[in-house]
Amino acid sequence: MLIADSQIHLSTFGQSQPTRRGQLSGGVYAEEILKEMDGAGVGRAILATATWDPDSGGQCLDAAIKYPDRFKVFGRLRVDEPGCQAQVPGWKQQPGMLGMRVNMRKMLNEDARAGDADFWLWAALEKADVPTMLLASEHFWTVKPIAERHPGLRLAICHLGVDLTKGNDEEAFAHMDQLLALAALPNVAVKWSGLQTYSSEAYPFPRIHPFLRRIHDAFGPRRIFWGTDLTRASYWDLPGRPRHCSYRQAVTMVTEELSWLSQTDKALIMGQALCDWAGWPQ
């Protein structure tokens, strides 16, 4: 089974956010992540540019160029920079670049019009056929009109739409009805990323399993992409969110603990569906 992680951040941490504490030699680097991946049986990973680190984009692209069979990048576009519109048509021509990841909170800070379905970026991404990962969380209301207005735009909702500033368990999944309603839109997928950070329990986090099953039943395994959000989920101390899950356990939570998944489901969710959606040949 090909296992592909739908989200990992690389970061030098540097001076960009001194209040966050990296546990890997003061930063998170490709070679150290590869050791983690090899130990957990993970073959590939999507590197998402970290919004808190201005050096993350270049670091991710360098890693994807150096290890093209292991890493691809979903990069960030700053819509407040001059010439940004001209970058979208050739976005995927950048070596190692596979798609774009949009943080709606950051995007709205840069241009308050970004939440509008007619904002120029969404049409440009659709025309250029750029698969897009969308961190919506507290701006979850933006997803449906964008997806409806641009049916050719491939969207994947990061972290099951969970607001990372909220609590665990039922509180984390308070938006469930909104999320499930998006399943009716065939261009919307969901990333099962950072699952271990939404539970107050120890591994295998049984209290969140019913939510995962509802998402599975609504979207189907071809529109669900497993991921760890490894940097945040494993190497940072998060108040109120226990850090008691190894990378290997993040894998086995899905492959061994969700008994209602078929083997075909597991193969799709753990990597095949992501690679098909993103255009990363197996």
The percent of residues above 70 in pLDDT, for the chain, comes to: 90
Amino acid 52: pLDDT: 73
Whether the pLDDT of residue 16 is over 50: the answer is no
Whether the pLDDT of residue 96 is over 80: the answer is yes
Q: Tokens 């919307």 map to which residue? A: 188
Whether the pLDDT of residue 13 is over 70: the answer is no
- Which residues are CB-contacts of 40 (< 8 A; sequence separation ≥ 6)? 3, 246, 247, 248, 250, 251
Amino acid 232: pLDDT: 66
User: How sure is the predictor about 254, in pLDDT bands with cuts at 50, 70 and 90?
Assistant: very high
Q: What's the mean per-residue pLDDT of the chain?
A: 89
Whether the pLDDT of residue 20 is over 50: the answer is no
Amino acid 250: pLDDT: 92
- pLDDT, one tens digit per residue, over 232-253 is 655 444 445 445 678 899 999 9
Q: What average pLDDT does range 203-222 have in this prediction? A: 96
Whether the pLDDT of residue 17 is over 50: the answer is no
- pLDDT, one tens digit per residue, over 144-175 is 999 999 999 999 999 999 987 788 899 999 99
- pLDDT, one tens digit per residue, over 34-84 is 998 999 999 999 999 887 777 788 899 999 999 999 999 999 999 999 999
Residue with more model confidence, 88 or 168: 88
Amino acid 185: pLDDT: 98
Amino acid 55: pLDDT: 77
Amino acid 236: pLDDT: 43
**What class does CATH assign to 4-278?**
alpha beta
Q: Render the chain in DSSP notation, one character per residue.
A: ---EEEEE--B--TTT-TTS--SSTTSB-HHHHHHHHHHHT--EEEEEPPTT-TTHHHHHHHHHHHSTTTEEEEE---TTSTTHHHHSTTGGGSTTEEEEEEEHHHHHHH-GGGGSTTSHHHHHHHHHT--EEEE-GGGGGGHHHHHHH-TTS-EEEGGGG--TTS-SHHHHTTTHHHHHHGGGSTTEEEEEESGGGS-SSPTT-GGGHHHHHHHHHHH-GGGEEEE--HHHHHHS-BTTB-----HHHHHHHHHTT-TTS-HHHHHIIIIIHHHHHHT---
Comparing C-alpha atoms, which of 171, 223, 178, 219 is closest to residue 199? 171
Amino acid 262: pLDDT: 98
